[in-house]
Structure 1
Amino acid sequence: MTTEPATSRPGRGRRPAAEVRSAVLAAAGAMLLEDGLRCITFEKVAARAGASKMTLYKWWPSPGALAFDAYFAATKQTFAFDDTGDLEADLVRQLRAFIGFLTSRGHGPVIAEFVGAAQSDPDLAAALTERYTLPRRALAVTRLRGARDAGRIRPDVDLESVVDQLWGACYHRLLLPALPLTPDFADALVHNLLPGILADRPYDG
């Protein structure tokens, strides 16, 4: 069995790597929700988890990448996008769920911190892109492509731009909170956008 190289327990030998990793993620996740991303350093997390700081350097390229892993290990988000055959209802439901996530239990501020920190932390930016942003975009584009293939959306519509218009607007209100993120906002986004992309509605191009 692979064992953690630097951290041991008196009289019990070294802890297995999986146990150490779990302790580190739990410590980082708790610290993130308590004090925010700014408090996450390898030294502080290692001390709280009873782990070797060098082990953290070996497993994660930056404190931001560690915080990202800890947060998503704790929240265990499940990516899903319903396809009931009713595109408008599916989009509203998905946007409402996303807004509900961002406005519940402090998730919004954490996501906002990740987005901000990713601008100067390329390792965090890569993790955020590969494991959060791209999977979410892919689900939305797949649902929209199905609607386009079924003749509901005009064939000339850029689906990636539609994702930006809908979900990008939510991130805009999260990061620049002049106006609130509410379920009604989700309804308005979909209601305003659909007339411009649906094949069976008037469109002045």
Structure 2
Amino acid sequence: MTDNSSARGGRSAERTADIMRATLELAQEVGYAKLSIEGISARAGVGKHTVYRRWSSKGAVFLDALLSSIEGDLDYPRTGDLVADLRVQMINAVDLLAKPPHDRLYAALVGEAQHDPAVAQALYERFVEPQAARTADRLRLAQEEGQLSPDLDLETVVALLYGAYYHKLLLTPFPVSTKDVDLVLDVFFRIGMRPPAES
């Protein structure tokens, strides 16, 4: 006896994957501004109603499509060397977000979040906040081990560490590189993030 519900579920998942793949293909070809539900549905070979059953707007489908494509290992190693651990994770983030094709796509998603509160909330909850929490956890461990000043506000430190990359990625035509990672870490650990040496 065939399990029709399982077959329908499989077809639905396949159709969802087709729509998200079509969304990314079109976004790369025509840019986010020219992306449309009509174009997505035509590329995926489905009706518009099929797209709208799953997503409320092109911003919503674009967010799902992009976040599903940039899943990667952004956890922190725990080697005991804070700077080395930060460097590994930050380079992984640069490789994931700041190189073609994801660099311009992610910039477009951040831009859409400025106009669509639902996209902004989903981007924060599903991507930005979990990454910030991972970084704060690693910095908190360094505080507990005496590698960082206990007075540092970790939320602010996370924003400062990653702010340089967001600025370069979103506001300039220049690529983010591993040299940027090294420079930021060098600057931060030269200006007093480490606890003062005992006299």
Could you tell me the TM-score, scaled by structure 1's length? Answer: 0.84
Question: 8 Å contact 2:74–2:93 — kept in the other structure?
Answer: no
Gaps of 5+ in 2: none
Q: 1:78 maps to what in 2? A: 73
Q: Which residue of 1 aligns with 2:133?
A: 138
**One-letter code aligned to 1:30:** E
Pairwise CA RMSD? 2.1
1:108 to 97, 103, 111: 103
CA displacement at 1:34 relative to structure 2: 2.2
Alpha-carbon distance, 1:180 to partner = 4.8
Q: Deviations over 1:23-50 (max 9, x none)?
A: 1112112112222222322221111112
Q: Which one of the candidate residues 6, 10, 17 is aligned to 2:12?
A: 17
Output the CA distance in 2 between the equivalents of 1:169 and 1:32: 26
Q: Aligned residue for 1:170?
A: 165
Q: Which has the higher helix share?
A: 2
Q: Which residue of 2 aligns with 1:198?
A: 194
Q: CA deviation at 1:16?
A: 2.6
Quick one: which of 155, 159, 181 aligns to 1:160? 155
Per-residue deviation, 1:179: 5.6
The 8 Å contact of residues 66 and 106 in structure 2, kept in 1 or not, is answered as no
Percentage identity across paired residues of the two chains: 34
Task: Out of 24-33 and 140-149, give the one that drifted further.
Answer: 24-33
* Residues 131, 52 of structure 1: alpha-carbon distance in 2 compared, 3 angstrom cutoff: same
SS at match of 1:196: coil
- Tell me how far 1:173 sits from its aligned partner: 0.9
Q: Post-superposition, which runs of at least 4 consecutive aligned residues in structure 1 deviate over 6 A? A: none
Contact 1:40–1:64 (8 Å) recurs in 2: no
Aligned to 1:42: 37
The 2-side partners of 1:132 and 1:67 are apart by 14
